[in-house]
Amino acid sequence: MILRLKKVVKFLTIAVILCVVLLAFSQFTASTPGIVDENGKTPENSISELKKLELNGRKQWISLRGWDKTAPVLLFLAGGPGGTQMAAVRHELAELEKHFVVVNWDQPGSGKSYYAEKTKNLTVETYIQDGYALTEYLKERFGQKKIYLIGESWGSALGIFLINQHPESYHTFIGTGQMVDFAETEIMDYAKAMEIASDKGNTSLIEKLKANGEPPYYGKGVTWKSAAYLNYLSSYMANNPEIHNPGYNTLRDVGSSEYGLLDKINYFRGLIKTFDHVYQQLYEIDLRKDFTKLNVPVYFFLGRHDINAPTVLVEKYEQLINAPEKGIVWFEHSGHSPWINERDKFVEEVVSCFLGINIK
């Protein structure tokens, strides 16, 4: 009996050691693929890096990709809070790498930067401070006085915060899936889900939404209560024939080389735990009240069929903005994610907006 127990302990010990080694190896070997042209060759001045930085004392990861490291820098702010789109942007917007050094940042509490800060300490100000510190790093490293900025969903609000506080650091800002008033958006989303569920006779969802009550939600369980209607709306958009290439390729993205095994786990932990803590801090924010005077050109790239971030709020906000330049670009076959739904047009419009170049 004792001999058998020793064998079991020995086996378990070896198994644990092997798992730890495998985990460490996967983290150490995580990388972003090299840039290759149509002939399979790497452009001489290209850049493809996965880099760990310390921003305000917090250790975080970025990817840097471009055909020419002297090109303008474009920082992409992912949605969430807690979301990582490092791999998704590489897959969907690779054409941008021909015109920019495209930088993706795993924000604190997401993906590769999940452990940058304790979840309980994350605030909106954390993201603003670290986003600005990253901007300053990029300006210094690439010798540029300003960079370009794109924000997606939650990242679209973060982008507004950054250009509001530090207009001297940014050429132009594009917000897509633009958030304006977080509390009003959740109330409208909840009502829309109830409307669709009622039309379709989806009594189980109606009962679940009624049991959760109307948003905004506070305390624990914000993620799951919000997911009840947000996932339903996302599914509804995915089935809309007017929306092209309708959704995220999550399995592809989480399986990408940028993420080690621990990162893959934290890919989902960020979406659940970080969102749960941070999102309820956003309910007091209404860009129409406090962010109308902006000293940077601002453009909104909106999906005509977006029902997650109601475009009516963005249209009202755009009218109130006082900026050097502003405007809305509509994507007729998109929902909440034009950068995925109509990626070719998205790239064309970004290059046109930022660089004044027509690549159609």
pLDDT digits (tens, 9 = 90+) for 189-209: 999 999 999 999 999 999 999
Average pLDDT of the segment spanning 226-233: 96
CA nearest neighbour of 116 among 124, 126, 125, 103: 126
Residues 323, 352: contact at Cβ < 8 Å?
A: no
> For residue 216, is the peptide bond before it cis, meaning its omega torsion is within 30 degrees of 0?
yes
Question: How confident is the model over 102-136, as pLDDT tens digits?
Answer: 999 999 999 999 999 999 999 999 999 999 999 99
Distance of CA 285 to the CA centre of its chain: 19
Return the CATH number of the domain spanning residue range 47-182+248-355. Answer: 3.40.50.1820
At 12, the pLDDT band (50, 70, 90 cuts) reads low
d(CA 140, CA 130): 15
Average pLDDT of the segment spanning 254-272: 94
- What residues contact residue 25 under an 8 Å CB cut-off, 6+ apart? none
- Consecutive H or E run containing 62: strand 58-66
State the Rg of the chain over Cα.
Answer: 21
Three-state DSSP state, 69? coil
- What residues contact residue 274 under an 8 Å CB cut-off, 6+ apart? 80, 81, 82, 109, 110, 114, 119, 122
More confident residue, 96 or 12: 96
pLDDT at position 28 over 90: no
At 319, the pLDDT band (50, 70, 90 cuts) reads very high
Q: Strands 73-77 and 147-152, how do they pair? A: parallel
pLDDT at position 335 over 80: yes
Output the pTM of the full model.
0.94
Average pLDDT of the segment spanning 57-81: 97
> For residue 81, is the peptide bond before it cis, meaning its omega torsion is within 30 degrees of 0?
yes
Axis crossing angle, helix 154-165 with helix 124-142, rounded to the nearest 10: 70
Each as own residue / partner, the long-range contacts of residues 39-45 (CB below 8 Å, 24 or more positions apart, any chain) are: 43/67, 43/68, 45/69, 45/70
Looking at residue 358, its pLDDT comes to 83
d(CA 153, CA 81): 9
pLDDT at position 167 over 80: yes
Question: How confident is the model over 306-315, as pLDDT tens digits?
Answer: 999 999 999 9
% the chain with pLDDT above 70: 93
Domains of the chain, residue spans: 1-30, 47-182+248-355
At 357, the pLDDT band (50, 70, 90 cuts) reads confident
Helix and strand numbers (H, E) in the chain are 14, 8
Looking at residue 274, its pLDDT comes to 97
Looking at residue 3, its pLDDT comes to 58
Looking at residue 36, its pLDDT comes to 93
Paired tokens of 256: 């990408």
pLDDT at position 20 over 80: no
